[in-house]
Amino acid sequence: MVYYNQGLDNTFSALSDPTRRAIVSKIAIGEVPIMELASPFNMSLPAVSKHVRVLENAGLLIRKKRGRVQYCRLNASPMRDATDWLIKYQQFWDTKLDALANFLEEQSK
């Protein structure tokens, strides 16, 4: 039976888009109004809001409203699970690549 981690799937799916990765980079610095998030992109505010919603649904972004302004800040905890998953496979590939390097070194002798 295959086990799927929905949270991990949501994290990778949300981070698969370059616009959303740029938004994450911007909110990693601190709390940012949505209007400020939208300014560097050549897209409408509703389009940026859709990206914000995807990040929010993945748990990567927390949105707060103060007055008429919505602010976004990063919640990096879902990325911790993704990092743990990636580290597990990094160790796997490091082992495989070390074995390949040893094999190639032996072959060249």
List, for residues 58-91, the tens digit of each pLDDT value.
999 999 999 999 999 999 999 998 898 888 888 8
Higher-confidence residue: 100 or 74? Answer: 74
Does the global pTM surpass 0.85?
no
Does residue 10 form part of some domain?
A: yes
In whole angstroms, what is the distance from residue 4 CA to residue 11 CA?
13
CATH number where 32 lies: 1.10.10.10
Give how many domains the chain has, as a whole number.
Answer: 1
pLDDT for res 98: 79
Q: Please give the torsion angle defined by the CA atoms of residues 90, 96, 100 and 103, in that order, rounded to the nearest 10 degrees.
A: 140
pLDDT for res 3: 57
Does residue 40 form part of some domain?
A: yes
Does residue 1 form part of some domain?
A: no
Q: How far is CA 74 from CA 10, 11, 31, 97, in A?
A: 15, 13, 8, 35
Q: Over range 15-21, report the average pLDDT.
A: 96
pLDDT for res 36: 92
Q: What percent of the chain shows pLDDT beyond 70?
A: 96
* Dihedral sign from CA coordinates of 9, 11, 13, 16: negative
pLDDT for res 64: 95
Q: Could you list the residue range(s) of the whole structural domain that residue 60 is in?
A: 6-108
- Identify which of 31-45, 57-71, 93-107 has the greatest average pLDDT: 57-71
